[in-house]
Amino acid sequence: MRQGEVAPQGKWEGVLSGVKAPEAIILPRPAKRFASTSDRLDALAPGHPMQDWLRFMSHLTRAQHAAATMAASLAALNQTAIEQAVEARMPPLSADGHRRDPAWRDGLMALLDSIDNAPAPPQALAVIADLRATDTGTIERLADAFLHGHFGASQAGAALYIAAALQVYFTRMAASLSVSSLRLLEQRGLCPCCGSTPSAGFVTASGPTPGARYLYCSLCSTSWNHVRAVCITCSSSRSIALEGIEGDSGTVKAETCNDCHTYAKVIYQKQDTKADPFADDLATLGLDVLVGQAGWLRHAPNPLLLAG
């Protein structure tokens, strides 16, 4: 690992010298989001030290795609409540306060159906069978426990599928919002739609604003612009550095902060135009281990890593 590589200090301050300012918020596209991640995991798996796990995660995200495109329609959102939340600088789909449409459980069942039709370890199939036999009240309590971070180790197997189904649900809900009605939160490291933490940051190499950093929500898949070389945990820029694994492609690095001793993943599209903010995070668990051993704590866990 290279220690102490200094991060670039560029900022986006609006339109300067004809450069277009990045879009503040980009809503997810459910029909593409999970399929793209699955395709990327399939591409990363061959020869990877975690090859079997990445292939299983590809099956899971492919099942999420099936659920996102086949699940029942969701009830319309309360526009007045959305406007009030946005005006108060609160996330309109607050993960720990949003009243879920019961249809999210249809998405869970569609997801489990898809995994049943794909290769999966016996342990995974056993958990799926248990979930199918679980009553509605317990399923909802498991969802609440996951969203509040209160599930125990004995529930980790079920939590993986609950988390995957909730990602599908919140991604579909976020996609139904109007981006023009949304505002960034005062805590810029949190999702403006659901208030969740990001899985990773993604620095663009194409489009109207190459070089902009977007954070990708770990729950609803919304992305939002965040200035570079600024800690997403404490907003400090005094002791930011990039850490990477010696000899790799440089596609994924850890942006560390010595003020709060946290780090966040940054994925550079310039190094690999096919990089995916969700798949490449899952595939670089080794970087998390090395940075953690060096003394930094991850800004927030990836829900599928946490549950799995």
Instruction: Tell me the domain boundaries of the chain.
Output: 2-12+21-26+188-307, 31-180
What are the beta bridge partners of residue 244?
2
SS3 of the chain: helix, strand, coil, percent, to 5: 40, 15, 45
Task: Give the chain's largest Cα–Cα span.
Answer: 61
Measured CA to CA in angstroms, residue 105 lies from 10, 87, 136, 139 at distances of 44, 31, 9, 8
Mean local confidence (pLDDT), 195-219:
94
Query: Cα(295)–Cα(230) distance, rounded to whole angstroms?
Result: 19
Q: Which of 28-32, 138-142, 155-159 has the lowest mean pLDDT?
A: 155-159
Tokens of 285: 């668990």
The per-residue pLDDT for range 63-80, each reduced to its tens digit, is 999 999 986 688 888 888
The per-residue pLDDT for range 283-295, each reduced to its tens digit, is 999 999 999 999 9
Helix, strand or coil, per DSSP, at residue 2: strand
306 falls in which pLDDT band (50, 70, 90)? low
Domain 2-12+21-26+188-307 fold: FdhE-like fold (3.90.1670)
Tokens of 85: 């939340």
Mean local confidence (pLDDT), 158-162:
92
Query: Cα(263)–Cα(253) distance, rounded to whole angstroms?
Result: 10
Higher pLDDT, 118 or 1: 118
Mean local confidence (pLDDT), 235-250:
93
Q: How many CA atoms within 13 Å lie on the side-chain side of 231? A: 22
pLDDT at 71: 64
Mean local confidence (pLDDT), 4-13:
41
Query: What does DSSP assign to residue 155?
Result: G
**Considering the chain, what percentage of its residues have pLDDT values greater than 70?**
91
Mean local confidence (pLDDT), 228-236:
94
Whether residue 271 has pLDDT greater than 50: yes
Mean local confidence (pLDDT), 84-94:
93
Mean local confidence (pLDDT), 184-197:
96
What lies within 8 Å, CB to CB, of 210 at 6+ separation is 204
pLDDT at 16: 41
What lies within 8 Å, CB to CB, of 179 at 6+ separation is 25, 26, 27
pLDDT at 307: 52
Query: Cα(215)–Cα(150) distance, rounded to whole angstroms?
Result: 25
CATH 3.90.1670.10 assigned to domain 31-180? The reply is yes
155 falls in which pLDDT band (50, 70, 90)? confident
The per-residue pLDDT for range 37-56, each reduced to its tens digit, is 999 999 999 999 999 999 99
CB 198 within 8 A of CB 45: no
| Other beta carbons less than 10 A from residue 229's beta carbon | 16
Rounded to two decimals, what is the model's pTM?
A: 0.90
Tokens of 194: 């659901």
- CA 81 to the chain's CA centroid: 25
Query: Cα(206)–Cα(227) distance, rounded to whole angstroms?
Result: 17
- Give yes or no on whether 2-12+21-26+188-307 and 31-180 have one common fold: yes
Higher pLDDT, 117 or 199: 199
Tokens of 191: 């999702």
Whether residue 11 has pLDDT greater than 60: no
Mean local confidence (pLDDT), 91-117:
90
Q: Which of 178, 179, 201 is nearest to 188 (CA)?
A: 201
What value does the mean pLDDT of the chain take? 89
* Phi and psi torsions of 131, nearest 5°: -65, -40
pLDDT at 247: 87
CB 105 within 8 A of CB 139: yes
**Residue reference for tokens 């879920």:** 100
Whether residue 18 has pLDDT greater than 70: no
What lies within 8 Å, CB to CB, of 78 at 6+ separation is none
Whether residue 129 has pLDDT greater than 70: yes
5 falls in which pLDDT band (50, 70, 90)? very low
What are the beta bridge partners of residue 201?
215, 266
pLDDT at 96: 84
pLDDT at 97: 86
Measured CA to CA in angstroms, residue 20 lies from 27, 172, 182, 211, 250 at distances of 19, 29, 20, 12, 27
pLDDT at 25: 97
Mean local confidence (pLDDT), 265-269:
97
